[in-house]
């Protein structure tokens, strides 16, 4: 039963740390157990979603190259038919669909997000990720802003360890409020 409890807390904290903490408190886990589960879960979520985001970024880059090559081939055909003048050499003109897809939905929000990234960078995103936004979202943001993987893993893991320690102490305090003697409620195994 203890292994399943650990596994459920780790799995939940891979996506969002606060519900993982609540589940650990519900299971009356020891603060050290809470720290270990939240750390492992957060790191698993960060690793998985960072690697997933890198794959998406590579796929989008390959897709853009293929579309540009396809457009150049179409332009050569049109030029041979004499229908339209060619685009300037080296510049691939995007289709209407591509222009709509690449256009930000909310320009103000995109500018605000970019300004926030320029101010706080990876360190700020890593620090606010566990308590405010989920670790996967923080990892995705970092990858899509072009941060190096080594820096993403370093700062996200350090932030996860810091917040897991804070949440473990917070969980211990909550258990003390719930029980008269928290040591009887949180014995290790």
- pLDDT tens across 80-103, in order? 766 655 555 556 666 655 555 555
DSSP 163-184: HHHHHHHHHHHHHHHH-S-HHH
Q: What pLDDT sits at residue 82?
A: 66
**How far apart are the C-alpha atoms of 38 and 30, rounded to whole Å?**
12
- Is the CB of residue 176 less than 8 Å from the CB of residue 186? no
Residue 38 pLDDT class (50, 70, 90 cuts): very high
**How far apart are the C-alpha atoms of 17 and 132, rounded to whole Å?**
9
Q: 3-state SS of 121-156?
A: HHHHHHHHCCCCCCHHHHHHHHHHCCCCHHHHHHHH
Q: Distances in Å between the alpha carbon of 46 and those of 18, 41, 56, 113, 160?
A: 15, 9, 15, 20, 9
Q: How many CB atoms lie within 10 A of CB 108?
A: 8
pTM of the prediction?
0.70
Q: Is the confidence at residue 107, as pLDDT, over 50?
A: yes
Looking at per-residue pLDDT, the higher value among 72 and 31 belongs to: 31
Give per-residue pLDDT as tens, 52-80: 999 998 998 888 888 878 877 777 777 77
Q: What pLDDT sits at residue 91?
A: 60
Average pLDDT, the chain: 81
Can you tell me the mean pLDDT for 135-164? 90
Q: What pLDDT sits at residue 187?
A: 46
**How far apart are the C-alpha atoms of 112 and 171, rounded to whole Å?**
35
Going by C-alpha positions, the residue among 9, 16, 22, 40 that lies closest to residue 129 is 16
Q: What pLDDT sits at residue 25?
A: 87
Can you tell me the mean pLDDT for 140-169? 91
Can you tell me the mean pLDDT for 142-150? 89
Residue 36 pLDDT class (50, 70, 90 cuts): very high
């Amino acid at each position: 039963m203890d292994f399943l409890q650990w596994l459920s807390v780790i799995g939940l904290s891979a996506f969002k740390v606060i519900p993982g903490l609540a589940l650990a408190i519900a299971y009356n886990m020891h603060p050290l157990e809470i720290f270990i589960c939240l750390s492992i879960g957060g790191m698993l979520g960060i690793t998985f979603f960072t690697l997933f985001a890198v794959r998406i970024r590579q796929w989008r880059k390959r897709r853009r190259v293929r579309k540009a090559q396809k457009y150049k081939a179409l332009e050569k055909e049109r030029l041979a038919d004499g229908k339209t003048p060619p685009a300037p050499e080296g510049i691939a003109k995007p289709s209407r669909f591509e222009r709509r897809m690449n256009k930000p939905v909310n320009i103000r929000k995109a500018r605000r997000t970019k300004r926030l990234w320029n101010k706080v960078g990876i360190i700020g995103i890593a620090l606010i990720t566990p308590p405010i936004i989920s670790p996967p979202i923080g990892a995705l943001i970092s990858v899509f802003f072009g941060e190096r993987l080594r820096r993403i893993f370093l700062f996200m893991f350090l932030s996860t360890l810091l917040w897991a320690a804070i949440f473990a102490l917070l969980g211990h305090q909550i258990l003390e409020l719930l029980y008269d003697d928290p040591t009887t409620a949180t014995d290790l195994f």
